[in-house]
Structure 1
Amino acid sequence: MALFCLTPGGVALAERLRATHPLTCFTSEKLLQPGFIPFGGSFAQTVQQAFSQYSALVFIAATGIVVRVIAPLVNDKLHDPAVVVMDERGEHVISLLSGHLGGANQLTRQLAATLGADPVITTATDVNQLAALDTLAAALDATMQDFRQAVKTINQMLVSQQRVGLWWDSEFALHADRYDTRGFIPVDNLDALPELDALVCVTLRDALPPQTIPLFKLVPKRVVAGIGCRRDTVPHTVASLLNQQLAANHFDPLALRAIGSVSLKQDEPALLELAHLRQIPFEIFSVDQLAQHEYRFPASEFVRLTVGVGSVSQPAAWLMSNGNLMGNTLREQGVTITLGVSDRC
């Protein structure tokens, strides 16, 4: 988190907050204290750079000043960092931008609790003591088709006191009480729904039983794919086979969290393109890391001679999923793909 302070009082308040929160503090040259960083060029220029580098920006300043400096930088709620503003006496902490997905509302409450201040939060779901779909999605690291419109629709239904059901697939049901679901109607059985206006389903599945009410599928990013392939395999081939493997195991493509392979493949064009197009991490494992789990799987002497370990996709998937592999390994056209489900939640 980056913190910006513009006055002596702001610097003093920043010192208090640094004791309990992981903050990188910026101020002007004339107010510089040990551990603070001077503005690079100007206050506005420093904010511009920080806007894309930090997940949260905290300002000890007038709200108007903050609005003016961030106005040219604001993009959309899916990508903007949390922005929180407070006065230099620490009496009010305001959630200004990205309250739900960015976490500004939660950060506002945390900072206000530290200071004994008044948290100022204006999002409709929060002021009505309700959960929000985008907050739930962020907590689950989940997404859905047409995310922006779905969030708008469901949150509006909640604050309008319409009946929105929430169903958890079996692998998530045990931990459902960890999440804020205020305002949602619990649903235990998709075949016997209570009276509802819409239904949100938390699941990895690619298909659910059809319903007579609007259904919104919230898909946690839990599926990982260990991939091995011949050098210079056509990118379309790898992408197509991955889709085939996801479908064979009835996973929604949105559930894919990461792909992984051996270090020799860290510059493999097909894998780099796949990670880029899916906007997911490409995790690299050394031969030694994979070799520790090689004994669990059938080995190929050709693969061993080529990359130094007898199996790539299976131990990579094993490491990414903590041993929770799913289905059979796909072996086609010089490509191997093994899926796993991460226990990350």
Structure 2
Amino acid sequence: MRTIIIAFTQPGLQLAKKAAQNTEGTVEIYGHERCTDGTIHSFYSVGEVIKEQFYQCDRILFIGAAAIAVRVIAPYLKSKTTDPAVLVADEDGKFLISLLSGHIGGANEWCSILAERLGAAPVITTATDTRGMFAVDLFAGKHRLRIVNPVMIQDISGRILNYEPVGMTGNDEYIDLLEQAEKQYPGQIQVTKNENGEFESGIQIITEVHEKEVFLRTIKLVPMNLAVGIGCKKGKSLKEIAQAVYTTFAQNHLLTERIGVIASIDRKAQEQGIISFAKQMKVPYRTYAAQELEQQAGTFTASSFVKGQMGVDNVCERSACAASGGGEKIVAKTACDGITVAVYKIKRNEE
């Protein structure tokens, strides 16, 4: 998790430092050149900072006028599924506003936590939050479900806010989760197979490639429950890595939306093709030492050549196994032009 904090004045810089101390992950402070103290990044134009950093960070905190934040980020907004979380605080730290990506980006939750730590009043205006109602994007994020068609978020939320019926469905593996949500938000969502078409709009957890939608207007949620292990020759490009993974998934009738983590050996930690693919899929990239991979339990496709090169007899299967928490093997080692791919199902407590 990478956060940048932007301040324009000395009081703002002091608050920025306090916020940084109370924010998890990697935090970098950018201060206007008139108030920099030599310990932070200095800038003359905030527009240049945002141009360089907007797509490279997960969260942004502006300390200053909300209008400045709105104007400077406006040209870079793409989608609620990709934009970073953005907060705005006044220089005195009295108020903290959740400005962008409240649910999927986590701005609302971050706002509430950071406001408490700073002694500020959180300002959250998302209707489902202020009225304590079900939010499908928040539900998806909490339970590691990828939203396939985010354009439907507005339809679902609008119906719930207008007290219109919305259905929920999924296979037996997720029925308990759906029933818990129904119980938590009575009268707002209802678990159903929709056999009689009583619900026009609904939420459906989909796990299979050709799974039939049961609602006329369906927001599709896909569990991000697959770990993909990758081994490759040095220098393989993003295009080559992606093609190998997509081909493997197509051959085994798997949804690529189910990818939840990419894994490999630590000697591939700086392999740009794999790093870029993980970023493209918006999932973490985890690497493991040969000794740790060797300790994984299970049956693996061994290679004496790989053993001699990497110190372990298999990279893709063992790394996928490690990243899945010892889950079920779905696809064994599959070779594709100098790249090997394996797929494991992540154990539920590891998701």
Please, what TM-score do these two structures have when normalized by structure 2?
Answer: 0.75
Q: Is the 8 A contact 1:329 1:339 kept in 2?
A: yes
Question: Which residue of structure 2 lines up, in the alignment, with residue 97 of structure 1?
Answer: 100
Question: Which residue of structure 2 lines up, in the alignment, with residue 165 of structure 1?
Answer: 167
Q: Partners of 1:123 and 1:266 in 2: how far apart? A: 39
Q: Partners of 1:43 and 1:342 in 2: how far apart? A: 42
Question: Which residue of structure 1 lines up, in the alignment, with residue 19 of structure 2?
Answer: 17
Match of 2:6 among 1, 4, 7: 4
Any idea what the Cα deviations from partners look like across 1:265-289, whole Å, max 9, x if unmatched? 8899997997687666665555444
Q: Partners of 1:268 and 1:8 in 2: how far apart? A: 41
User: Does structure 1 residue 326 correspond to structure 2 residue 329?
Assistant: yes
Give the Å deviation of 1:262: 5.5
Alignment of 1:74-85 (within 5 A): 74-85=77-88
Match of 1:26 among 9, 23, 30: 30
Give the length in aligned residue pairs: 337
Q: Partners of 2:282 and 2:320 in 1: how far apart? A: 18
Q: Is the 8 A contact 2:153 2:219 kept in 1?
A: no
Q: Partners of 2:153 and 2:37 in 1: how far apart? A: 43
User: Does structure 1 residue 130 correspond to structure 2 residue 133?
Assistant: yes
Question: Which residue of structure 1 lines up, in the alignment, with residue 52 of structure 2?
Answer: 49
Any idea what the Cα deviations from partners look like across 1:50-106, whole Å, max 9, x if unmatched? 323322111221222222232333333222222211222333222222222222222
Deviates more, 1:207-216 or 1:45-54: 207-216
Question: Which residue of structure 1 lines up, in the alignment, with residue 89 of structure 2?
Answer: 86
Structure 1 portions without partners, runs of 5+: none
Alignment of 1:1-345 (within 5 A): 1-22=3-24, 23-33=27-37, 36-145=39-148, 147-167=149-169, 169-172=171-174, 182=185, 184-187=188-191, 190=193, 196-208=199-211, 211=214, 213-226=216-229, 239-245=246-252, 247=253, 251-261=254-264, 285=288, 287-293=290-296, 296-297=299-300, 299-300=302-303, 304=307, 309-327=312-330, 329=332, 338-343=342-347, 344-345=350-351
Distance 1:281 1:180, change over 3 A: farther
Q: Is the 8 A contact 2:108 2:124 kept in 1?
A: yes
Deviates more, 1:262-271 or 1:277-286: 262-271
Distance 1:207 1:161, change over 3 A: farther
Distance 1:87 1:319, change over 3 A: same
- Which residue type is aligned with residue 30 of structure 2? F
Distance 1:144 1:332, change over 3 A: same
1:75 counterpart SS class: coil
Distance 1:212 1:150, change over 3 A: closer
Distance 1:150 1:287, change over 3 A: same
Distance 1:178 1:244, change over 3 A: same
Give the Å deviation of 1:259: 4.5
Distance 1:9 1:206, change over 3 A: same
Deviates more, 1:214-223 or 1:45-54: 45-54
Q: CA RMSD in A?
A: 4.2
Give the Å deviation of 1:324: 0.7
Q: Is the 8 A contact 1:95 1:105 kept in 2?
A: yes
Larger Rg: 1
1:200 counterpart SS class: strand
Deviates more, 1:316-325 or 1:115-124: 115-124
Distance 1:152 1:60, change over 3 A: same
Distance 1:90 1:268, change over 3 A: closer
Distance 1:87 1:180, change over 3 A: farther
Please, what TM-score do these two structures have when normalized by structure 1?
Answer: 0.76
Q: Is the 8 A contact 2:244 2:341 kept in 1?
A: no
Deviates more, 1:55-64 or 1:8-17: 8-17
Structure 2 portions without partners, runs of 5+: none
Q: Partners of 1:197 and 1:342 in 2: how far apart? A: 33
